């Protein structure tokens, strides 16, 4: 998993609440267990018209936001089903950070498993960030995970909280398997001692 340390990128505003996982990645795109290729289905019902052509009014189709890596959105983002395809689709599209006032628990946890940083901010801070994101290509935010700060284009800074364990995992690019492999020497030592103590096993 790619580590997340510092990200400077365009932030796209998506001022909607209760965006569920079916809206993030509609069910017809769930026929794969691969993590790649799902970006084409991201927000498909909003991003594409009935013929599959890009909807020019949708924020991620606008030229200023075509390379957006940060999404600024409303409360309860990622609600609905538990599909892990939702963070896969965001990551495949190029989104590495989602900022909202709240997230659905399962989606929130899945983000950390896939190298996406979900940031919870206060409503007043979200309003400022949404305003920053509305500036198009000039809407560049800097997310510094080590210092737990979001810096805006005007130099303002917002601090955010994050669980220390999740922070460690993202900074080092560790999913559950990677976290276990960090303890590989201790596991090997235990296995050696167990084999010595129980040679018949």
Average pLDDT, consecutive stretches of 10 residues, N- to C-terminus, the chain (201 residues)? 94 97 93 85 94 94 94 97 93 97 97 96 97 87 98 92 95 76 67 71 63
The CATH architecture of the domain made up of 6-197 is Alpha-Beta Barrel (3.20)
> Could you state, in order of their start, the residue ranges of all structural domains in the chain?
6-197
Total H helices, total E strands in the chain: 8, 7
Which residues, including other chains, have CB under 8 Å from residue 175's CB and lie 6 or more apart?
1, 113, 114, 169
State whether residue 117 is helix, strand or coil.
strand
State whether residue 181 is helix, strand or coil.
helix
Look up the pTM and report it. 0.88
pLDDT of 127 reads: 96
């Amino acid at each position: 998993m790619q580590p997340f340390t510092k990200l400077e990128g365009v932030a796209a505003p998506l001022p909607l609440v209760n965006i569920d996982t079916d809206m993030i990645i509609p069910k017809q795109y769930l026929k794969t267990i691969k993590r790649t290729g799902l970006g084409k289905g991201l927000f498909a019902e909003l991003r594409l018209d009935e013929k599959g052509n890009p909807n020019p009014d949708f924020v991620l189709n606008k030229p200023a936001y075509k390379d957006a890596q940060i999404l600024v959105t409303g409360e309860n983002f990622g609600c609905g089903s538990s599909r892990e395809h939702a963070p896969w689709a965001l990551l495949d599209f190029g989104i590495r950070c989602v900022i909202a006032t709240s997230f659905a628990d399962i989606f929130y946890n899945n983000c950390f498993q896939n190298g996406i940083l979900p940031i919870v901010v206060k409503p007043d801070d979200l309003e400022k960030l949404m305003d920053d994101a509305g500036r198009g290509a000039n809407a560049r935010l800097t997310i510094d995970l080590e210092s737990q700060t979001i810096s805006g284009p005007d130099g303002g800074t917002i601090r955010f909280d994050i669980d220390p364990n999740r922070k460690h995992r993202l900074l080092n690019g560790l999913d559950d398997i990677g976290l276990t492999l960090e303890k590989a020497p201790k596991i090997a030592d235990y296995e050696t001692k167990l084999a010595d103590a129980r040679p018949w096993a």
